[in-house]
Amino acid sequence: MVAHVVVIGAGVYGAAVAASVTRRGARATVVDAGAPGGGTSGATFSWTNSCGKQPRSYHDLNVSGMEAHRRLAADVPHSDWYHETGNLEWAATDDEHEVLREKVAGVLDYGYEARWLGRAEVLDLEPDLDPAALPDDGIAYFPREGWVEPTRLIGHLLSRAGAEVVRGDAVTGLDVTGGEVRAVRLASGRRIGADAVVDCAGPHAGRIAELAGLALPMRNTRGVLVYTSPVAVAAARVVHAPHVHVRPDGGGRLLLHTPDVDGAVRDDGVDGSTVDEVVAAGRALYPGLRDATVESVRVGERPVPDDGLPVLGRVAGLPNFHFAVSHSGATLCLHAGDLVAAEALGEDQADALGPYRFERFATVR
């Protein structure tokens, strides 16, 4: 019987796994080298979606993740971290529009909600957009998408879990004997006994796997997010414009991102001129941003397993060691975290987690 689960990582996945473990009647201890939400989860665009994700099984997993967010938000009075306000997207060139058209056709074929809007309809939704920045028509709208505030979500999940949270104490070793992980060792010298261990360490998941004698191939990427000062702009939705991505971030702030700025990360920070370009693109989209300043710039490291798909669930050769690692963690964490927690406690989740097993990497070596 699994009575105690040690969860490594206090981001959205770690918090979700811990909450599910305790809800199912076991005890959880969450350990993190820093503070809860202080890693990737605190520096993410956190767009909840299943827009154009392939293959179909992965699309369906993300749809289930979105549904899990809706259920939790509906079940928790005064929940304030989930915002299902929709996503708008349009293209700048004919070739890009054709890619967008194919994406919309694909998700519609899956039964996913999407529709095409014209400029006037978009301005009804987002009245502070500059009309000149919008095409006459051909603007895709995905009404069930949105965004989450990850640190608020993490706080709720950890509070609900009632788990012990060990902050600022990195995992330095795993005691493995008899084909199982028996304990987790921390930098402080503490040793925590475990019936099961879940690796939710995000971009550091590969290092934790090595401590268990496993090779998890990762191709992590960096993401740069620009946070504005509070501005009087009526922005409620996720917007994917050709030159900038925007969403609200609470307190009147907007969060700006574009893939171009991700390449501006240097050893000493982010290139300032590139940040200025992102802000200028935001102002071209929302003229009300003209008086905004940059309040902060955050660089997050996205955990991306080598084939781009999640790594979830138990390891065949080390059956009480489990993974919960993926890109799109903001979308997937509640649903996938619950599946992983169930499996850590002995429930068979082969049908749901089969496509995401760690062992798939061994077959391509």
Burial group, residue 132, by CB count within 10 angstroms (0-12, 13-18, 19+): exposed
CA-nearest of 227, 289, 236, 284 to 261 is 227
The tokens for 69 are: 């967010």
- pTM for this one? 0.96
Quickly tell me which residue has 């991700």 as its tokens.
262
Alpha-helix residue ranges (DSSP H) falling in 270-349: 272-285, 329-344
pLDDT at 217 over 70: yes
- Give the mean model confidence (pLDDT) for residues 61-89: 97
- The mean of the pLDDT values for the chain is 95
What is d(CA 309, CA 364) in angstroms, rounded to the nearest whole number?
Answer: 15
How crowded is residue 133: how many other Cβ atoms within 10 Å of its Cβ? 18
The tens digit of pLDDT for each residue in 262-283 reads 877 776 678 788 899 999 999 9
What is d(CA 26, CA 242) in angstroms, rounded to the nearest whole number?
Answer: 47
Percentages (nearest 5) of helix, strand, coil residues in the chain: 35, 25, 35
What is d(CA 233, CA 244) in angstroms, rounded to the nearest whole number?
Answer: 16
Please, are residues 338 and 212 in contact by the beta-carbon 8 Å criterion? no
Residue type, 107: V
- Give the mean model confidence (pLDDT) for residues 151-171: 97
Question: 11: which residues sit within 8 A by CB, 6+ positions away?
Answer: 36, 37, 39, 40, 41, 150, 154, 200, 202, 329
Domains of the chain listed by start with CATH number: 4-47+151-217+306-364 (3.50.50.60), 84-145+220-302 (3.30.9.10)
Look at residue 364 in the predicted model and tell me its pLDDT.
Answer: 44
- Give the mean model confidence (pLDDT) for residues 138-144: 98
Please, are residues 210 and 34 in contact by the beta-carbon 8 Å criterion? no
b vs e for 217-236, b when ≥16 Cβ sit within 10 Å of the residue's Cβ?
ebebebbbbbbbeebebebb
Question: Could you give the dihedral angle defined by the CA atoms of residues 229, 234, 237 and 242, in that order, rounded to the nearest 10 degrees?
Answer: -70
CA-nearest of 40, 65, 11, 17 to 304 is 40
Phi-psi group of 308: left, alpha or beta (phi > 0 → left; psi -120 to 50 → alpha; rest → beta): left
Give the pLDDT band of residue 24 (cuts 50, 70, 90).
very high
Look at residue 250 in the predicted model and tell me its pLDDT.
Answer: 85
The tens digit of pLDDT for each residue in 303-329 reads 999 999 999 999 999 999 999 999 999
- Give the mean model confidence (pLDDT) for residues 217-222: 94
Q: How far is CA 251 from its chain centroid?
A: 21
β-strand partners of 146: 48
| Cα separations in angstroms, 197 against 14, 177, 305 | 11, 14, 19
- Give the mean model confidence (pLDDT) for residues 45-56: 96
DSSP string, 70-110: HHHHHHSTT--SEE---EEE--SSHHHHHHHHHHHHHHHHT
Q: What angle do CA 119, 121, 124 make, to 5 degrees?
A: 110
My answer on whether omega of the bond before 143 falls inside 30° of 0, hence cis, is no
Look at residue 340 in the predicted model and tell me its pLDDT.
Answer: 98
Please, are residues 297 and 218 in contact by the beta-carbon 8 Å criterion? no
What is d(CA 116, CA 84) in angstroms, rounded to the nearest whole number?
Answer: 18
How crowded is residue 319: how many other Cβ atoms within 10 Å of its Cβ? 13
The tens digit of pLDDT for each residue in 176-212 reads 999 999 999 999 999 999 999 999 999 999 999 999 9
